Structures are given as structure tokens and as C-alpha cells.
Chains A and B, each alone.
Chain A
Amino acid sequence: TQLLEQSPQFLSIQEGENLTVYCNSSSVFSSLQWYRQEPGEGPVLLVTVVTGGEVKKLKRLTFQFGDARKDSSLHITAAQPGDTGLYLCAGRETSGSRLTFGEGTQLTVNP
């Protein structure tokens, strides 16, 4: 089973600040998903990146897949209190369809 390390584990920032969350592995993934999970609920898919070097933007969120498809980042510009939540990265292994999840980053944006 491939492993994904996510950092930081916790992040507390002020409204308006920018932040970046990282997801790293020594293994190659065929795709990388970013989810957001609220307490007691299931992960909600934000984006899927498939191609090495791919960048996708979703309003103030920018997702990047590393050239070697081993790492990914999520950058949030001008964070808002509504961005508060648990952000999970999940990689789809090159053989099969299982997703390997990172530990998650708990983001708190203070007003």
C-alpha cells in the first residue's frame, strides 16, 4: 500500500491570509483527489488532478499535481472563515482503483 503524508496537520490563520497544504509520497499515483470533510460527514470531492504538472483552479483554491505525480498542493488565497474544515488528499494507486488517504489538514480561519 502506498503512503501519503499531508502537512501541516493543523493550521490556524487569520481571515485574508494565504495558505498552502502539501501532500507528499515516495510513490507515483495515477491521480490525486482533494476532499473536504466536515465533522460527522463524508468527504466531499473538490477536485481531481490526473496529469503530472497539472494545475486546476476552483475560485480561490489552486490545486497542483507534481510533475512526477508523487506530490500535490492546495493553495488558498485570501482565506475566509467559511474555508474552515478538514482537507484531505487521496491518491489513486497506479494498480487498481483504491484511494489512499492522507491524515488530513485541519484548517481554522479566524475572522
Chain B
Amino acid sequence: EPEVTQTPSHQVTQMGQEVILRCVPISNHLYFYWYRQILGQKVEFLVSFYNNEISEKSEIFDDQFSVERPDGSNFTLKIRSTKLEDSAMYFCASSVAGPFQYFGAGTRLSVL
């Protein structure tokens, strides 16, 4: 069964460093998303991406965050200068149409 793949599974970084989280969405999907889940809290929407541009973003997705689809298969989330409060599980999701969003296993980001 097709699945969303995320790498790495765990990323440890120093505060202030840049990180790039990578995702390979399901191949025929057109909509791509990033969500995050801080430990013990609910899953929160960050950004959605369609037709090579951001279609929607939340208040969390500030200038420190950016997304890119560098080629036909990858979808990345970059955090330019990480803060302690960026520590969370980051989930990539993809869908053919809006409602049916399939999630990856996540990347655990630990900012020290």
C-alpha cells in the first residue's frame, strides 16, 4: 500500500541551527501538508501546498519556516533558526483531494 515517507525519523539540532525535514508524498497525490505535534498536545496544522505554491498557512508558520518541492517526489520543510519551542513531532501528509489526508510516521525534532 502506498505510504508517505519521512526522513529522518529523529533529528537532533542545536538552537539557532537550520534543519530540513524531508517527505516523499504518495506518488499520485497533489496536495501536501505539514503538521506538528508538541509532546502531550494535539496535532496542529502548519501549511498546505498545491500546484507549487503555499495555499494556506497557520499563525505558527512564520518567516522562520519555508516549504519546497525541489523535484517531482520530495516535499521539504525548512526551519531557518531553530528555537527550543520548535521541538515536536513533524508530520507530512498528502492527499489526492482535500479530505483524504494520509500522514507519514513523522520526524521527531529535538532542539537543544
- Say if the beta carbon of B75 comes within 8 Å of chain A: no
A55 CB, min distance to chain B CBs, angstroms: 17
Q: How many interface residues does B have (CB within 8 Å)? A: 25
A42 and B105 in contact, given A96-B48, A97-B55, A98-B58 (Cβ under 8 angstroms): yes
Task: Tell me if A98 and B103 are in contact (CB < 8 A).
Answer: no
- Say if the beta carbon of A88 comes within 8 Å of chain B: yes
Q: Per-position contact with B for A87-98: 1 when CB-CB < 8 Å, else 0?
A: 010101000111
Minimum CB distance partner of A31 in chain B: B99
Q: What separation, in Å, do the CA atoms of A45 and B26 have in the docked complex? A: 14
Task: Tell me if A103 and B42 are in contact (CB < 8 A).
Answer: yes
B34 CB, min distance to chain A CBs, angstroms: 11
Task: Tell me if B98 and A45 are in contact (CB < 8 A).
Answer: no
- Say if the beta carbon of A100 comes within 8 Å of chain B: yes
A100 and B101 in contact, given A42-B91, A43-B91 (Cβ under 8 angstroms): no
Minimum CB distance partner of B97 in chain A: A97
Minimum CB distance partner of B103 in chain A: A42
- Say if the beta carbon of A48 comes within 8 Å of chain B: yes
Q: How many interface residues does A have (CB within 8 Å)? A: 25
**A45 CB contact (under 8 Å) in B42, B91, B101, B106:** B101
Contacts of A92 in B (CB 8 A): 98-99
Minimum CB distance partner of B90 in chain A: A42
Contacts of A45 in B (CB 8 A): 100-103
Minimum CB distance partner of B10 in chain A: A40
Contacts of B56 in A (CB 8 A): 96-98
Task: Tell me if A101 and B44 are in contact (CB < 8 A).
Answer: yes
**A102 CB contact (under 8 Å) in B42, B45, B105:** B42
Task: Tell me if B103 and A35 are in contact (CB < 8 A).
Answer: yes
Q: What separation, in Å, do the CA atoms of A42 and B37 have in the docked complex? A: 10
Task: Tell me if A48 and B44 are in contact (CB < 8 A).
Answer: no
Minimum CB distance partner of B98 in chain A: A97
Q: Which A residues are closer than 8 A to B by beta carbons?
A: 1, 30-31, 33, 35, 40-45, 48, 50, 88, 90, 92, 96-104
List 18 additional contacts besides A35-B103, A96-B48, A96-B55; criterion CB under 8 Å: A31-B98, A31-B99, A40-B106, A42-B4, A42-B104, A50-B99, A88-B43, A92-B98, A97-B55, A97-B95, A97-B98, A98-B33, A99-B35, A99-B43, A100-B45, A101-B42, A101-B44, A102-B42
